[in-house]
Amino acid sequence: MALLTLAQALEKISACLTPLTETELVSLAHAANRICAEPIYSPINVPAFDNSAMDGYAVRFDDLTCFSQFDIVGKAFAGNAFEEDMQAGQCVRIMTGAKIPTNADTVIMQEEAVLNADGTVSFNSNVSVGANIRRIGEDIQQGELVLEQGSKLNVTSLPLLASLGIAEIKVFKPLKVAILSTGDELVPVGQPLKAGQIYDSNRFALRLMLEKLHLNVMDYGILPDDPHLFEQRFTEAAQTADVIITSGGVSVGEADFTKTVLEKLGNIGFWKIAMKPGKPFAFGQIGKAHCFGLPGNPVSALVTFYQLVQPALLTLAGVNAKKVADFSPYLTACTMVALKKAVGRQDFQRGFYRLNQSGQLEVTPVGAQGSHIFSAFHQSNCFIVLAQEQGDVAAGEQVMIQPFNTLLS
Ligand SMILES: Nc1nc2c(c(=O)[nH]1)N[C@H]1C(S)=C(S)[C@@H](COP(=O)(O)OP(=O)(O)OC[C@H]3O[C@@H](n4cnc5c(N)ncnc54)[C@H](O)[C@@H]3O)O[C@H]1N2
Ligand code: MOO
């Protein structure tokens, strides 16, 4: 049977996902990186009142044709308004941000004004009516939608909410994600290696990526290649976690138990995808927990997490669908060298792209492309994405690239 394409796999996963609904109220100061669980409408106008955009003088525009000298009858500061009415031929010294006096309609900036010896002021300017006034509601109107449900709260959205006086916000509770590595050969970082053993770097990578996504990580450690232990640990994890992510043991070897145990304890949605790296990837459920079985090869584990698990976690965590669809957009770039590509699987080569002196994007693959060769990853800044039916690519051809999003930077 033909393997699923990445797009088909993403569709199958997406069809099984129901975003979390549990919410909590948090103060704005503790809301960074959380997902907003309600649409936010502005309780006020911004600006809340007409105010001056410049340090200068507030005048009645029509007076400019009748008077050459104006009496300065008061001062208006930001936070300290001039509350009286201005009469004909009068003006008010005004500072940036100060409320416009009731019957003034124009502000002339200080640089256009000349102070006369008798204490009056004259203006050189040809201003138009309404000049230098920031209007009430010009930025945001009371009742306007300022933030969609499912937006990530960050350094641009949170100050916006602060400017509206919003002190608390309803956010989705973070997903609980269990991680575990499988394989008799694995040793935790920090312990000496014996012959035939390797360090468990995948669990470390998974933890880092989940922390970047601000999810709750439940670390189930290393699982030896024993199907009974697999059953035990998977069952335990499925009781508390919303999502279980494993690495290794998902291929066809005699010690590859992930898929069979997943089938036994729950159900398997699909297994194997026409992508490279990342062919042996399993998706299914145990009880309410969604399970992602990533391949053991470190590059394959990271690539499948990025391409398949990341969007699923964003959806489950409550991020809105438009933002999930856009989680890692594609660009095109000219490849500087020929690329080896076998027909049959969509390829995600690791590459480095940059803007050249003519303003064109160019890309070069980084290092060897084997799925066990992790060292090239940290010198890369994008995937070079080659279509399933594409063969070798000649130097100078345009290829699709996918710049790494914040997950890998
Ligand atoms: N006969 C076949 N053999 C393999 C196939 C196949 O289709 N037919 N697929 C190959 C591909 S492609 C991949 S990818 C791997 C994936 O296999 P598994 O998911 O079963 O992974 P393991 O066999 O457990 O491990 C593969 C490799 O990765 C190392 N590893 C495992 N876990 C970790 C970890 N936590 N940290 C660092 N490195 C890890 C492990 O020692 C192996 O070297 O299967 C191919 N075989
Ligand atoms: O699918 Mo594997 O990840 O090519 O080595």
Residues 81-100: pLDDT tens digits? Answer: 999 999 999 999 999 999 99
Nearest ligand 2 atom to alpha carbon 281: 1
Q: Which residue has the tokens 């809340």?
A: 48
Nearest ligand 2 atom to alpha carbon 304: 3
Residue of minimum CA distance from atom 32 in ligand 1: 296
Q: In the prediction, which pLDDT does 170 show?
A: 98
Q: In the prediction, which pLDDT does 126 show?
A: 86
Q: In the prediction, which pLDDT does 255 show?
A: 86
User: Which protein residues are within 6 Å of ligand 2, measured from CB?
Assistant: 276-280, 295, 297, 300, 371
pLDDT of 375 strictly over 80: yes
186 lines ligand 1 (CB under 6 A): yes
Q: What's the gap between Cα 207 and its chain centre?
A: 18
Q: How close is the Cα of 28 to the center of ligand 2, in Å?
A: 43
pTM recorded for the entire structure: 0.93
Nearest-ligand number for the alpha carbon of 273? 2
Largest distance between two CA atoms of the chain: 99
Domains of the chain: 6-21+174-326 (3.40.980.10), 23-44+151-172 (3.90.105.10), 51-134 (2.170.190.11), 331-403 (2.40.340.10)
Q: What is the ipTM of this complex?
A: 0.97
Residue of minimum CA distance from atom 12 in ligand 1: 279
Percent of the chain with pLDDT over 90: 94
Residues 248-261: pLDDT tens digits? Answer: 999 988 888 999 99
Average pLDDT, the chain: 96
Q: What's the gap between Cα 217 and its chain centre?
A: 19
pLDDT of 1 strictly over 80: no
Q: How close is the Cα of 248 to the center of ligand 1, in Å?
A: 6
Residue of minimum CA distance from atom 4 in ligand 2: 277
Nearest-ligand number for the alpha carbon of 223? 1
Residues 121-179: pLDDT tens digits? Answer: 999 878 999 999 999 999 999 999 999 999 999 999 999 999 999 999 999 999 999 99
